Amino acid sequence: MASLPTSGPISLSMIQAVFGGEAPTSITEYYRGGKYVPDIPANAKIPKSGKINFSDFYGATSDNFQPGQKKWDKPGLYTFVIPSYNEEFNFDIFGGGGSSGESTYDGTVIGSRYDAQGFDGVPGQGSYVVGPDGDIVLSQPVSIAASQGGSALYTPSPTVTNAWLTAGGGGAGAGWGRANGWLALRGIPPSPVPPAVGTPAVASVRNQTAKDRVNTTEGGRGGDPAPYLGNSMSMGGAGAPGAHVMKVWRKTDADAPQPGQTWKIFIGNGGNHSSHYGGMNGGGPGIGAANWK
- Give the 3-state secondary structure of the chain: CCECCCCCCCCHHHHHHHHCCCCCCCHHHHCECCCCECCCHHHCCCCCCCCCCHHHHCCCECCCCCCEEEEECCCEEEEEECCCCCCEEEEEEECCCCCCCEEEEEEEEECCEEEEEEECCCCCCCEEEEEEEEEEEECCCEEECCCCCCCEEECCCEEEEEEEEEECCCCCCECCCCCCHHHHHCCCCCCCCCCCECCCCCEEECCCCCCCEEECCCCCEECCCCCCCCCCEEECCCCCCCCEEEEEEECCCCCCCCCCCEEEEEECCCCCCCCCCCCCCCCCCCEEEEEEC
Residue 3 lies in a domain: no
The pLDDT assigned to 276 comes to 47
192 pLDDT more than 70: no
Residue 154 lies in a domain: yes
Residue 4 lies in a domain: no
The reply to whether 108 and 26 lie within a common domain is no
Residue 1 lies in a domain: no
The pLDDT assigned to 220 comes to 63
The reply to whether 270 and 219 lie within a common domain is yes
What is the overall mean pLDDT for the chain? 77
The reply to whether 52 and 79 lie within a common domain is no
The reply to whether 26 and 121 lie within a common domain is no
Residue 169 lies in a domain: yes
**What is the pTM (predicted TM-score) of this model?**
0.69
The reply to whether 25 and 121 lie within a common domain is no
The pLDDT assigned to 110 comes to 45
The reply to whether 75 and 127 lie within a common domain is yes
**For the chain, what is the domain count?**
2
The reply to whether 48 and 79 lie within a common domain is no
The reply to whether 246 and 288 lie within a common domain is yes
The string of pLDDT tens digits covering residues 236-264 is: 667 778 889 999 999 999 999 998 999 99
The reply to whether 95 and 42 lie within a common domain is no
The reply to whether 208 and 285 lie within a common domain is yes
80 pLDDT more than 90: yes
The string of pLDDT tens digits covering residues 174-190 is: 665 444 444 444 444 44
Give the structural domain span for 24.
Answer: 12-57
The string of pLDDT tens digits covering residues 121-150 is: 777 889 999 999 999 998 765 444 333 333
The reply to whether 234 and 275 lie within a common domain is yes
pLDDT category, 278, cuts 50, 70, 90?
Answer: very low
Contact between 156 and 75 (Cβ < 8 Å): no
Look at 91 and 269; give whichever has higher pLDDT. 91
The reply to whether 52 and 102 lie within a common domain is no
Residue 62 lies in a domain: no
Residue 114 lies in a domain: yes
Residue 245 lies in a domain: yes
